[in-house]
Amino acid sequence: MGNSMKSAAFLIESRLAEAAQGDSDAYYELGMIYSTGAEGVGVDLIEAHKWFNLASLTGHDESKVCRAEISLDMTAREIAEAQREARSWLQESTRRAA
What is the predicted pLDDT for the residue at 86? 96
Contacts of 5 (CB under 8 A, 6+ apart): 40
Q: Report, as ranges of residue numbers, the positions in the chain whose pLDDT lies below 70.
A: 1-5, 96-98
Query: Which tens digits make up the pLDDT trace of 25-36?
Result: 999 999 999 999
Short-list 65, 63, 61, CA closest to 30: 63
What is the predicted pLDDT for the residue at 3? 60
Helix (H) or strand (E) holding 27: helix 24-36
8 A C-beta contact, residue 31 and residue 55: yes
Amino acid 61 reads D
**What sign does the dihedral 15-85-72-65 (CA atoms) show?**
negative
Give the residue extent of every domain in the chain. 9-97
What is the predicted pLDDT for the residue at 98? 63
